[in-house]
Amino acid sequence: MRSDASDLPLGAPVVGVVIAGGRSVRFGGEKAVAILSGVPLLLWATRRLQRTCGVVAVNARRGTQAEGLARAEGLPVLHDEEGDPLGPLAGVKVALKWARDIKARALAVSPCDVPLLPDDVFARLIEAAGAGAAMAETPEGPQPLCSVWPVSALPSVTEALIGGRHPATWLLLTKLGARGVRFSSPAAFANINTPGDLATLSSRLYAEAAQRAR
């Protein structure tokens, strides 16, 4: 794990992490570096988090394009710990350790492949969490990768991953007493899974931009 803790400001109340360690099997390449409206999806996510978080890191696999892009942007890069199972909670675990090391009180978590999240999603989650946890919800159910975790949750996350287990992220957040924050539009939380999804969204954004320019 590379935390760059010695180079970061200490005591930011809330820091952020983008989970970009998935293998993107259905996409056929690294989703995190796929381009939407001229910007890599990873940077859509990091820039949104930067509006509300003191510093933002990226959880990525070693040797990936996502890691290279994050480093080029000057972002801390966090690698899953050896022996942890594949899945987002491994990224949450190393990010909570990093947050603890730079004396943050909480961690905001974002996926890398949901570019249309509401602008106020993390401001609302941070407010709702208070000293605890919070996660987004839509009429389709919980959205646990849009969440806030207190640094004090680290022991619970570590224990949950013992022996290669990986419980559902929403279930662990529920056990931590996370407050649900309701958002009305499921479409805003739709993730990009395939090149077709990206092409469809790109066409939509282009059409919307053209309409506004008229």
pLDDT along the chain (214 residues), means of 10: 42 89 70 92 96 95 95 96 93 97 96 94 96 97 97 97 94 97 94 84 73 70
Q: Strand 77-78 relative to strand 56-59: parallel, antiparallel, unpaired?
A: parallel
The whole model's pTM is what?
0.89
* Helix runs in the chain, H state only: 41-50, 65-72, 88-101, 121-129, 154-160, 169-175, 195-213
Domains of the chain from N-terminus onward: 5-213 (3.90.550.10)
Looking at residue 95, what is its pLDDT?
98
